[in-house]
Amino acid sequence: MTVTLPHEWAKIHADSKPDAPAVVSPGGTMPYGELDRRAESHALRLTEAGIGAGDVVPFEATATPEAVVALVGIHRSGAAAVPHGPHGFDRRASVPPGTYAVLPTSGSAGKPRDVVLTGSNIGASVDACRRRLGNDATDRWLLTLPLFHVGGLSIVWRSLTAGGSIAMLPRFDAAAATRVLRDPTVSMASLVPTMLHRILHLDSGPYRGLKAILLGGAPASAELIERGLVAGLPVLQTYGMTETASQVATVEPGTAFESLGTAGPPLDGFAVSTSDDGEILLEGTAISPGYLNEPPRSGPLHTGDLGHIDRHGRLVVTGRRDGMIITGGENVHPATVEAAINALASVGGSIVVGTPDDEWGHVVAAVVEATPAALPAIEAAVRGRVAPHEMPRCWIPVGELPLLENGKPDRAAASRLAVEAGSSDRRYAG
């Protein structure tokens, strides 16, 4: 089956409605006609330089209209687009036939790997999202996620395919994001939990006229989602990853309250199962064939996440398999402890990690966005919410959580903070 890809849709919309907005940014509006002309020029320059199918072309992936032009132009040349952020991507590589983009994994639990995404992967992902959310040409989608990860790029691909527009912010700023969400022309957004928390802290609503706020990238407490819903933000928890070209499961619109604690049902085209030890396994057209310069994947994708499908057919994610903390022979899922901590109003967020300990093997440590003075009360409140072996033995207060460029928790940085805090007999560090 032939799939019409986002860059082809951009041309179709430019021909049928050249004056319709494609990208709206602080610098102005770029209509589809202008996007088409600039992307065509970019593609021509690449072709004249001998670049085409089988090549990879890096581009500066800041969230700007110029980045969208570069992305569409690279796609039109037949090369694979490689968005790069602070760490860059400065090597030429040969990619498998049909490669549409090469994206780094988030690196939240280790060294990033380069994921190969084909045109079929992207087409299937965009179609599955549209079937779940119903986004169309009337929608304007807030983009404040970086373009060097799939969460941001997928917004561009979805909007270009639907003929909608993108409300683009070059970086996340809670005040600016709040203003955009109050703009009546904006109907959709994609956020990570830390962004939602900071938006609600600044402006608790009510918000009106929004159709969907996709929330993913990291675990979110039911309390945070409920606060968003009460504020008029139609928050829909979602689950996905770079290897799946974005979403795998998303809460169905209109069911957010009854779906609290879940990522909703799998999207069309995904088969979700679990291994004997509870690891989430995935199959479907949107799933990457593998990683750059590594053997192709065979069989289902092993996500490294733990979870199950509940009796309503909704995916429940319980934690990371490789992030599990074993303390005194007991297993601790960081997501469980983080949910208990993040439910408290005095906490801006938390990252729970394990630190080496001679007696216990590892002990649980919590890096918490809170004041040092608040820690005793936080500890007391959490004590009744988690099992004794899950209780953090060391609490590290920070003004802001260490985050990766895509807004996900930086667990490596949190682990360093915990190690620097000292031994487990120092209950409050900092």
> pLDDT, tens digit, for every residue of 83-123?
875 444 445 567 888 999 999 876 554 567 889 999 999 99
What pLDDT is stored for residue 111 in this prediction? 63
What pTM was computed for the model? 0.82
Q: How far is CA 347 from CA 203, 343, 366, 373, 379, in A?
A: 17, 8, 12, 12, 11
Where is mean pLDDT largest: 90-94, 202-206, 264-268, 318-322? Answer: 264-268
Measured distance CA(430)–CA(416) in Å, rounded: 13
pLDDT at 340 over 70: yes
The residue written with tokens 């022979």 in the block is 329
Plot region of 232 (φ>0 → left; ψ -120 to 50 → alpha; else → beta):
left
What pLDDT is stored for residue 207 in this prediction? 97
> pLDDT, tens digit, for every residue of 167-203?
999 989 999 999 999 999 999 999 988 889 889 999 9
3-state SS of the chain is CCCCCHHHHHHHHHHHCCCCEEEEECCEEEEHHHHHHHHHHHHHHHHHCCCCCCCEEEEECCCCHHHHHHHHHHHHHCCEEEEECCCCCCCCCCCCCCEEEEEECCCCCCCCCEEEEEHHHHHHHHHHHHHHHCCCCCCEEEECCCCCCHHHHHHHHHHHHHCCEEEECCCCCHHHHHHHHCCCCCCEEEECHHHHHHHHHHCCCCCCCCCEEEECCCCCCHHHHHHHHHCCCCEEEEEEEHHHCEEEEECCCCCCCCCCCCCCCECCCEEEEECCCCEEEEEECCCCCEECCCCCCCCCEEEEEEEEECCCCCEEEEEECCCCEEECCEEECHHHHHHHHHCCCCCCCEEEEEEEECCCEEEEEEEEECCHHHHHHHHHHHHCCCCHHHCCCEEEEECCCCECCCCCECHHHHHHHHHHHCCCCCCECC
Q: How far is CA 117 from CA 128, 141, 145, 156, in A?
A: 16, 23, 19, 15
Instruction: Give residue 392's pLDDT band: very low, low, confident or very high (50, 70, 90).
Output: very high
CB 104 within 8 A of CB 148: yes
What pLDDT is stored for residue 424 in this prediction? 42
What pLDDT is stored for residue 115 in this prediction? 94
Q: Rounded to the nearest 5°, which phi and psi values hold at 316?
A: -115, 120
CATH number of the structural domain 6-319: 3.40.50.12780
Compute the average pLDDT of residues 141-147: 93
pLDDT at 357 over 80: no
Instruction: Give residue 270's pLDDT band: very low, low, confident or very high (50, 70, 90).
Output: very high
pLDDT at 29 over 50: yes
What pLDDT is stored for residue 44 in this prediction? 97
What pLDDT is stored for residue 226 in this prediction? 94
Domains 6-319 and 325-421 share a fold: no
- Nearest C-alpha neighbor of 62 from the set 192, 155, 180, 171: 171
pLDDT at 398 over 90: yes
Compute the average pLDDT of residues 398-402: 92
CATH number of the structural domain 325-421: 3.30.300.30
- Nearest C-alpha neighbor of 71 from the set 3, 6, 142, 131: 6
- Nearest C-alpha neighbor of 167 from the set 327, 363, 22, 1: 22
- Domain residue ranges of the chain, discontinuous segments joined by +: 6-319, 325-421
Instruction: Give residue 82's pLDDT band: very low, low, confident or very high (50, 70, 90).
Output: very high
Q: Give the rounded distance of the alpha carbon of 82 from its chain centre.
A: 17
> pLDDT, tens digit, for every residue of 209-232?
999 999 998 778 888 899 999 999
- Check the CA dihedral 240-246-248-251 and report its sign: positive
Joined tokens for residue 27: 């610098």
What pLDDT is stored for residue 382 in this prediction? 95
